[in-house]
Amino acid sequence: MRHVAEAMKRLMGKAIHSRDMIKEGDHILVAVSGGKDSLSLLWLLKERCMRVPISYKVTAVHVDPGFSTQSGERMEAFFAAHGFDHRVIKSDFGPLAHSAENRENPCFLCSRLRRKRLFESAAALSCNKIALGHHKDDFIETFFLNIFYGASISTMAPVQPLFDGKICIIRPLFMIDQKMIKRYADWMGWPEIPLGCPTAGASKREEIKTMLDRFYKNNKKVKGNIFHALQNIRPESFQGWMERKKELLS
């Protein structure tokens, strides 16, 4: 399985270089949920900084959503055992998002509250970048989620400056398949640390995953074609739609 580890390093390095994600002196907050994606990201970023000719700092941050699974304690033990600079933040965001007053979209509120806390933590720690563990499948699934349920043609950005450039979100795993990350994490022997979310596996994203899996099984080129299409947008093909929108708004 060493070839999987080497492929992960190569693809993450390619992603970082292609978007100039990391520069000399950066302090990167790595958001670690406890899943295989974020654990892999944290490990590879720390490993990378020991062998590249630039210096940057990595701090792991875990936001415990408060579902009584002791994810905070388990992440604290993981960080300490492997020598990661870290912060563990306790919260009640999960139960709050799943309360009777917010039954329609608990995932949206929980995600927004946790993201806000990450921004606050980045400011407190003087981090200029936040690294998230989104991978190739996440980018593709978000594209279809936004079309079907958000009425927009959009997806995540590999690099996303915010607050007039004071903070920048980076996604160094955006070129890597979820299945490869799983194989890597399993080989490393990391236990997945669940957050205890009661709606996990029942989201709109899961519906999109199921739909896409059918296409992938029928044609192995489909995933790659979609991913490359997201980077090969032709604005001129939307010109008529944009002109019509301007007419309607004028």
Task: List pLDDT tens digits, range 5-15.
Answer: 999 999 999 99
Query: Cα dihedral angle (206, 212, 216, 219), rounded to 10 degrees?
Result: 170
pLDDT of residue 108: 76
For 151, residues 6+ apart whose C-beta sits below 8 A from its C-beta are: none
CA atoms of 217 and 202, how far apart (whole Å): 22
pLDDT of residue 18: 96
pLDDT of residue 24: 97
In single-letter form, the type of residue at position 72 comes to G
CA 56 to chain centre: 20
Mean pLDDT of the chain, nearest integer: 89
Order of strands, edge to edge, in the sheet holding 27-31? Answer: 86-90, 57-64, 27-31, 129-131, 167-170, 159-162
Residues 226-247: pLDDT tens digits?
999 999 888 777 777 667 666 6
Provide CB contacts within 8 A for 88, sequence distance 6+.
61, 62, 64, 72, 75, 76, 79
Q: pTM here?
A: 0.92
Burial class (CB in 10 A: 0-12, 13-18, 19+), 208: buried
pLDDT at residue 179 above 90? yes
Structure tokens at 149: 């349920």
Categorize the per-residue pLDDT at 101 as very low, low, confident or very high, splitting at 50, 70 and 90.
Answer: low
- Rounded Cα gap, residues 114 and 32, in angstroms: 11
Name 168's bridge partners. Answer: 129, 161
213 or 242, which is more confident: 213
**How far is it, in rounded angstroms, from Cα 62 to Cα 91?**
10
Tell me how far apart the alpha carbons of residues 96 and 64 are, in angstroms, rounded to a whole number: 13
Q: For residue 96, what pLDDT is reported?
A: 73
Domain 2-197 CATH class label: alpha beta
Distance CA 226, CA 56 (A): 33
Taking 80 as the threshold, does the pLDDT of residue 137 lie above it?
yes
State residue 4's pLDDT score.
94
Q: What does the pLDDT look like over 121-131, one tens digit per residue?
A: 999 999 999 99
Is the per-residue pLDDT at 106 higher than 90?
A: no
Is pLDDT larger for residue 2 or for residue 142? 142
pLDDT for position 220: 93
Residue 85 is encoded by which pair of tokens? 């600079």
